Structure 1
Amino acid sequence: MTAPYDPSDREKVVAKLPSELRRELKVRAAELDTDIQDAVTLGVEAWRKTKSQIAVDTTGGSSFATYLPAGLYDKLKKDCKARGITYNQGIAQSIRLWLDRHPSPRPKPQRVTGARRIIFGNQKGGVGKTSVSAGVAQALAESGHRTLLIDFDPQGHLTKQLGHPLIEIDSPSLAKHMLGEVKAGGLADLLVPIKGGDFEDHLWLLPACKDAFLLDAKLATSRVVRIKETALEKALEPLEHDFDFIVVDCPPSLGYSMDTAIYYCRTRDGEDNDASGIVVPVLSEDSSADAYDMLEDQIQDLTEDLGVEITQLGFVVNMYDSRKGYVATSSLEEWQKIGEPPVLAIVPELKDQREAVRVKTPLLAHAPYCEQAEAMRTIARRISG
């Protein structure tokens, strides 16, 4: 097994559900900080106790998978047979019942600071910043949040993995906007809608550009950008009120580019301390801890030099596999012992993410019910709550 828990007390179930019901379930579960599988379980248990039935139109339904406690699946099928309805209808009615009994909480007051800004950073490469930032952005969008995902890494892996080309070196780009090399505005024209899954119509990508490798050097010598750390914020400011979340996949660097990203996620005046901040993907091994020490020093330097507050929202222990033995398990324990910032989730080492990258499809569209996808939803709930 690859995760530090035993899932043997649950069994996978698959049904056909209409897309609107699936989306409503995911949004409500996110609003109430509830796992989807727990919501469905509660719905099934409640449905089995009630004699009334709320017919749900399941025409044109597509695949939906979740996990129910062992034995509940068979009981549900028997109840469906006794009531003369299909299993798909039984699951749909159970979900509808849970939704009706768990209404959406009152909307939060209107933000005065624009989008919430979440950056994913770690000086060490290969820890999965790209896969985690992309998965969390998809989960946020799936929950009904208008989300912008920014490929701020000059290598452009995020852009390529989602099946899009990098912006050409002579074209307008985020880097050129940061350096004042293009007219104000127009950045919105570069956004690409990400299709597929229940996040469609809520997720956009700002692709990487081939000239991004030059950004650090140009920021260091630019006379146009007076305060280097503000360059990313000034470039993105026109977009902020169009989105609920802006998610940034940062470069594995401690240079000026990373400074601008860290400054961008600072706590602004009038903003809750945990509304924006940095998430740090790590591995269960010592080199990740060494890299985090360097990142923490950089955050501390910016905090002291500029008099700002940077919230570390938490760690994501990525690509975890307990079969690697003591090195992995003991390292995981060390991350968990830190306590603050907390470990937001443990993402198991499975083939689903690699397959999604190979076919250039978002994880939550390629394998929406895999363990890795559920981990992304957990992270999204914890940072958006």
Structure 2
Amino acid sequence: MKKIIALANQKGGVGKTTTVVNLAAAFAEAGMRVLAVDFDPQGNLSSGLGIEKKKEENTIYELLMEECTFEEAVHKTYSENLDVLASNVNLSGLELELLDKRNREYVLKHYLEPVVEQYDYIFIDCPPSLSLLTVNAMTAATDVIIPIQCEYYAMEGLNQMLRSIKLLQMKLNPALRINGIIFTMYDARNNLSQQVVDSVKDVLKEYIYDTVIARNVRVAEAPSYGMPVTEYDPRSKGAENYRKLAAEILTREAD
């Protein structure tokens, strides 16, 4: 079964988009056919993969509004294995457009289903809220990965996200499963980082990935060049972290 993985956290600033960009790139580097879906009106995933979002006429908004085809909306990237459905600020109007639409929670699913066999993995970058956009991503997804920052309020944001996922499973997508929880922005010099990791592991050990994404200057620099860190600085610690995480996810899928 092909995987559609939504990366979501209702709390912003947790490294969600950075994780989507670099995980998608690491999977593509490993030979997988990957589609990255930018479902956040900020469009940071698009720019992080070299798409000039302000100049794009056909984005995921136009696709969902039936103003273009998938083939017209999808963008090639630096890698032949990695495609992008870009977004920009136009996407912020989608929720209003969908208010009176029947089955409005399943619009994204409807447009991904015909193309899912073209890819090994589809990654969806969700906005940092439980909006109709996030609900659409979750109903389209087979799995959800939750990135959490190693900081004081991590548990609060995680608990909110877990409650939302449980509700979505009950009401809209019973097959949705939690693929895992990723710790981001880990700082080995900061005792708080390890305390956060330990406290989450005490409660949700079965979901935690062994790989931790450490703070890394190359990861922070890469988006300004429109590249994932695996392309910008392939030998950096950040690139190693994301390759290791991709390998761990693939290993879990094989078990």
Using the size of structure 2 for normalisation, the TM-score is 0.91
Instruction: Report the counterpart of residue 292 of structure 1 in structure 2.
Output: 158
Structure-2 residue corresponding to 1:77: none
After superposition, residues 84-163 of structure 1 pair within 5 angstroms as 111=1, 115-163=2-50
Shift of 1:168: 5.7
Describe the shift of the 1:306–1:358 C-alpha distance in structure 2 as closer, same or farther (beyond 3 A): closer
Distance 1:376 1:166, change over 3 A: same
CA contact (8 A) 2:21 2:48 kept: no
Match for residue 201 of structure 1 among 60, 80, 84: 80
Matches within 5 A, 1:38-49: none
> Is residue 2:235 matched to residue 1:369?
yes
Code of the residue aligned with 1:222 in structure 2: it is: D
- Alignment length, in residue pairs? 250
Distance 2:75 2:243 in 1: 22
CA contact (8 A) 1:136 1:376 kept: yes
Q: Is 1:319–2:206 an aligned residue pair? A: no
Q: 1:332 aligns with which of 170, 173, 197?
A: 197
What is the aligned partner in structure 1 of residue 70 from structure 2? Answer: 187
The residue aligned with 1:378 is: 244
The 2-side partners of 1:344 and 1:278 are apart by 17
In structure 2, the CA distance between the partners of 1:127 and 1:252, relative to structure 1 (3 Å rule), is same
Structure 2 segments unaligned to the other structure (5+ residues): none
How far apart, CA to CA, are the structure 2 residues paired with 1:235 and 1:306? 17
**d(CA) in 1 for partners of 2:182, 2:227:** 22
**Match status 1:231 vs 2:107:** yes
Q: Distance in 2 between matches of 1:362 and 1:172?
A: 23
- CA displacement 1:8-58 (0-9 Å, x = unmatched): xxxxxxxxxxxxxxxxxxxxxxxxxxxxxxxxxxxxxxxxxxxxxxxxxxx
The answer as to whether partners of 1:313 and 1:342 remain within 8 angstroms in 2 is no
Give the TM-score of the pair, scaled to structure 1. 0.61
Question: Whole-Å Cα distance in 2 between the matches of residues 309 and 236 of structure 1?
Answer: 16
Q: CA RMSD in A?
A: 1.9
Q: Is the 8 A contact 1:316 1:343 kept in 2?
A: yes
| 1:216 CA drift (Å) | 2.3
1:129 alignment partner AA: K
Return closer, same or farther for 1:162/1:152 CA change in 2, 3 Å cut-off.
Answer: same
Alignment-derived partner of residue 349 in structure 1: 215
Letter of the structure 1 residue corresponding to residue 61 of structure 2: A
Identity of aligned residues (%): 26
User: For 1:154-176, what per-residue CA distance to the aligned partner results, in whole angstroms no more than 9, with x for missing partners?
Assistant: 1111112223211668x443224
| SS of aligned partner of 1:330 | helix
Partner of 2:63: 177
Please give the per-residue CA displacement for 1:59-118, whole angstroms capped at 9, x wherever unaligned.
Answer: xxxxxxxxxxxxxxxxxxxxxxxxxxxxxxxxxxxxxxxxxxxxxxxxxxxx4xxx3111
Pairwise CA distance, 1:285? 1.8
Asked if structure 1 preserves the Cα contact closer than 8 Å seen for 2:214 and 2:238, the reply is yes
Contact 1:133 1:248 in 2 (8 A): yes
Whole-angstrom CA distance in 2 between matches of 1:287 and 1:253: 16
SS at match of 2:97: helix
Q: Distance in 2 between matches of 1:154 and 1:339?
A: 33
Which amino acid counterpart does residue 216 of structure 1 have in structure 2?
A: E
* Equivalent-residue separation in structure 2 for 1:210 and 1:187 (angstroms): 19
Matched residue type, 1:218: E
Q: Structure 1: give runs of 5+ residues left out of the alignment.
A: 1-110, 267-276
Q: Distance in 1 between matches of 2:236 and 2:141?
A: 30
Change (3 A) 1:373 1:317: same
**Deviation for aligned residue 1:307:** 5.9
- Asked if the contact 2:154/2:196 (under 8 Å) is kept, the reply is no
Give the distance between the partners of 2:216 and 2:104, measured in 1 at CA: 40
Superposed CA deviations along residues 291-347 of structure 1, whole A, max 9, x for unmatched, are: 12111111111111236132111111111002222x222111112222121234201
- Asked if the contact 1:314–1:344 (Cα under 8 Å) also holds between the matched residues in 2, the reply is no
Query: Quick check: 1:336–1:343 contact (8 Å CA) kept in 2?
Result: no
